[in-house]
Amino acid sequence: MKYFTADPAPCRKNIFQGKVLFENEYISWIHDELSGQLIGAVVKNGSGENLLTEPLTFSIDRSENGKGKSFTAGASAEKVQFGENCVITESAFVSKDGEILPGVRLRRTVEYGEWGEAVHTLELTAEDPVDNVTAMRPAVFGVAGTIDRLGVRRRLICGTGAWSLNPCVWQRLEGGTKHSDVIPLQENHLPLSMTFLDAGTEALQFELGDDIAAWEMLPGFQEIAMIYNSTTQGYLVRCAAFIDRTDETVEGSLTLKFRLSLPFVRKNIVPLRRASSLLYFQRGFENRWPGDEDLKAMKKAGIDLLRLHCDGDSFKNGIFWRATVYPPFPAEEMKKMAEFLDKAHKYGIHVVPYFSVKEFHPDSPDYPANFEKWGRRGFSNSRVRTNESFGSVMCLTSDWKNKRRASIAEVLEKHPFDGVYYDWCAGLECANPGHCGTPHWDNDELLEHLKWTADNFKSTPERYLHLTYVSSLAVENAATMVITEEHGFPALGPEMFTPHVHFLNIAPRQICNMMRGADAVQKRQLAMAALLHHASISTIDQEFWDFYASLEWLDDVERYTAYTAPGEGLASSSDSRVGVSVYWNDEEAMIVCANFREEVSKAEITVSLPEKPELEETVELAPLEVKVIKCKLLVDRI
């Protein structure tokens, strides 16, 4: 049986016509050969065009005789070194008229990883103090105007609660055609991350390094500014450590880090993979493990991946999997788990255990001595909160990561699981002085944890990642399945989801079914909405499985090379309650229509695909019907 896989893809260095490329089958980072400056970022199975409309620079502004002058490092270099997977440059700061900022030097190291990430380390040194500095912008670059969504994870907006995780907030961009695009983003705190997304096609992501404090030279005087540039037809992005000062002095040394990432967009559409939690909580404790008939039903619905998700005391008997505690269950339940694993594998279904990357349960013997120093704190003097079922949230910059890894390795080495399910797959802010004396987050450490997982468990390659509310390109490149959203979904319709659901053709995607007391109509509407965004529902509910079993064309989607979801501007319906998505390749389009009404609907469908003839169809749909129309793109409909 063929399963979806996510393999590391190291970049290779190539030199071509004055440019040095670091590339793999999915992406290409482009540097100028003479200066070492980053001038290009390309997603090969996206548009194939350069996402950088302006090259990456570092600028320092200074006031001289009442007039401002900007000095930039990047366009020229005194020393350039290209390694097999890295670039090192040393340069001065030079103004447009050729003046050099005396005594100030920048050493930039760019390291290209195997999951689409480029880690930039900036080492600034000033031999003598430089006064009258008004602004310092360590990262300035231009992003293509084809980007139509901006996702921002802001700092310090969720309070200090143990469960807050600074969600990604999305806004639409209009390519400079509306007034809202003049300055779509300007704030006085640098965000944790920014995702520049052309929905369904490609993206570029900027993320601060884990040492947030290094960027906070003057708290409150930071600035992130995104400004549309009509000359380049793109957005100029300026990340300032401080701005609007008149009397600052730059002296000594400073080290800053950030990460740029590109997605591993696949050439063909990834499978609409079906996966589920495996325990039947609704059947009572004694009957919670699936039997042969259950596995047959799962197989019929196309499910090939299950997660053992048992992190709370659902049956009020104290038997559940406490984070880092082993063995998780009494001997009789461990025997049932082993028998189930054997059965699932006979049906060709992979099974992965639930691990929270961040949670530490109080029943772990190591908990009392370590939870305070390893735990996540919103402020240096706030407490580490504890939940009796889930424990406390930890920070991966502490020694917690070693404890968590040891507990994961113990499980995978003793039982024939097929990989991991990771919850809390998000970098989180922390200010705990017990393991780090300054504000930080653990985003880089999270990626390192994914690398550790991939490197150490090659024979169990499933990485089922829970990424609700956040996006991280490098992390998602390493996933074999991504869960993107979980909440009650009060409004059910074709455009109910954030851009993170369809997002990009990187890995199969899912929605958590967390509707309480939903009836059959609501369940079908949720399944249809997810389907239109090329996502499945994570559920053990038979009604959803029956829905997937009825769609015989689901396994055909992998022969297409492009896809668009509702709200992305390429497909529309005259009835707002009829959703439309489209799969296509060079020869054929497959239009998927879903009627969210509980009555018959007749709608006019219009499809305008890039460089393809416009398609118009009139479709009549029964209540809650899903209908597929296949069209040849150059000749008559088939």
What residues contact residue 228 under an 8 Å CB cut-off, 6+ apart?
145, 176, 181, 182, 183, 184, 234, 235, 236
pLDDT tens readout for residues 72-92 = 999 999 999 999 999 999 999
> Residue 1: its pLDDT value, please?
60
Question: How many other CB atoms are there within 10 angstroms of residue 130's CB atom?
Answer: 19
pLDDT tens readout for residues 285-299 = 999 999 999 999 999
Whether the per-residue pLDDT at 163 is higher than 60: the answer is: no
Same domain, 149 and 116: yes
Integer Cα distance of 489 and 526 in angstroms: 8
Q: Across the chain, what does the average pLDDT equal?
A: 93
Q: Are 176 and 233 in contact (CB under 8 A)?
A: yes
CATH number at residue 616: 2.60.40
Q: Which two tokens stand for residue 330?
A: 């009494």
Same domain, 442 and 540: yes
Mean per-residue pLDDT, 51-80: 94
Query: Tokens 């118009």 sit at which residue?
Result: 616
158 vs 192 pLDDT, higher one: 192
Domain assignment present for 222: yes
Domain C-terminal end among 238, 261, 284: 261
Domain assignment present for 268: no
Compute, in degrees rounded to 10, the torsion defined by CA atoms 343, 346, 348, 353. Answer: 30
> Residue 471: its pLDDT value, please?
93
pLDDT tens readout for residues 34-49 = 999 999 999 999 999 9
pLDDT tens readout for residues 207-258 = 999 999 999 888 778 999 999 999 999 999 999 999 987 778 889 999 999 9
Label residue 181 by pLDDT band (50, 70, 90): confident
Whether the per-residue pLDDT at 407 is higher than 70: the answer is: yes
Domain C-terminal end among 237, 261, 285: 261
Domain assignment present for 559: no
> Residue 158: its pLDDT value, please?
46
pLDDT tens readout for residues 22-33 = 999 999 999 999
Label residue 66 by pLDDT band (50, 70, 90): confident
Compute the half-sphere exposure of residue 171: CA atoms within 13 Å on the CB side of its CA.
12
Same domain, 404 and 318: yes
Integer Cα distance of 153 and 583 in angstroms: 31
Span of 6-10, 35-39, 67-71, 603-607 with lowest mean pLDDT: 67-71
Q: Are 63 and 132 in contact (CB under 8 A)?
A: yes
Same domain, 198 and 281: no
Integer Cα distance of 56 and 60 in angstroms: 14
Whether the per-residue pLDDT at 350 is higher than 90: the answer is: yes
Identify the three-state secondary structure at position 527: helix
| 224, β-bridge pairs | 187, 239
Label residue 637 by pLDDT band (50, 70, 90): very low
Whether the per-residue pLDDT at 358 is higher than 90: the answer is: yes
Mean per-residue pLDDT, 544-567: 94
Same domain, 244 and 284: no
Q: Are 225 and 460 in contact (CB under 8 A)?
A: no
pLDDT tens readout for residues 257-279 = 999 999 999 999 999 999 999 99
Taken as a whole, the chain contains a residue count of 638
Domain C-terminal end among 261, 283, 315: 261
| 237, β-bridge pairs | 141, 226
Same domain, 458 and 380: yes
Whether the per-residue pLDDT at 162 is higher than 70: the answer is: no
Among 217, 195, 218, 216, which residue's Cα sits nearest to residue 207? 195
Pairing of strands 38-43, 27-32: antiparallel
Same domain, 285 and 377: yes
Same domain, 257 and 395: no
Mean per-residue pLDDT, 511-539: 93
Same domain, 284 and 208: no
Whether the per-residue pLDDT at 388 is higher than 80: the answer is: no
> Residue 161: its pLDDT value, please?
52
Q: Which two tokens stand for residue 15?
A: 């030199």
What residues contact residue 330 under an 8 Å CB cut-off, 6+ apart?
319
pTM above 0.75, yes or no: yes
What residues contact residue 214 under an 8 Å CB cut-off, 6+ apart?
254, 255, 256, 257
- The DSSP-derived string for 138-149 is EEEEEEETT--E
Same domain, 123 and 207: yes
Whether the per-residue pLDDT at 636 is higher than 60: the answer is: no
Label residue 417 by pLDDT band (50, 70, 90): very high
Identify the three-state secondary structure at position 57: strand
Which bin fits 106, alpha (ψ -120 to 50), beta or left (φ > 0)? Answer: beta
Q: Which two tokens stand for residue 157?
A: 């907006």
Domain assignment present for 7: no
Domain assignment present for 418: yes
> Residue 164: its pLDDT value, please?
65
Label residue 157 by pLDDT band (50, 70, 90): very low
Domain assignment present for 420: yes
pLDDT tens readout for residues 128-156 = 999 999 999 999 999 999 999 999 999 87
Integer Cα distance of 608 and 613 in angstroms: 7
Domain assignment present for 184: yes
Instruction: Look at the chain and report how many structural domains it folds into.
Output: 3
Q: Are 235 and 227 in contact (CB under 8 A)?
A: yes
Query: Tokens 């997660």 sit at which residue?
Result: 307
Mean per-residue pLDDT, 509-535: 94
pLDDT tens readout for residues 443-456 = 999 999 999 999 99
Q: Which two tokens stand for residue 219?
A: 């708290």
Same domain, 498 and 359: yes
161 vs 298 pLDDT, higher one: 298
Among 344, 352, 353, which residue's Cα sits nearest to residue 299? 344
Domain assignment present for 200: yes
Question: How many other CB atoms are there within 10 angstroms of residue 275's CB atom?
Answer: 27
Same domain, 66 and 164: yes
Segments forming the whole domain that contains residue 376: 274-550
What residues contact residue 153 under an 8 Å CB cut-off, 6+ apart?
166, 167, 168, 169, 191, 192, 193, 194, 470
CATH number at residue 457: 3.20.20.80
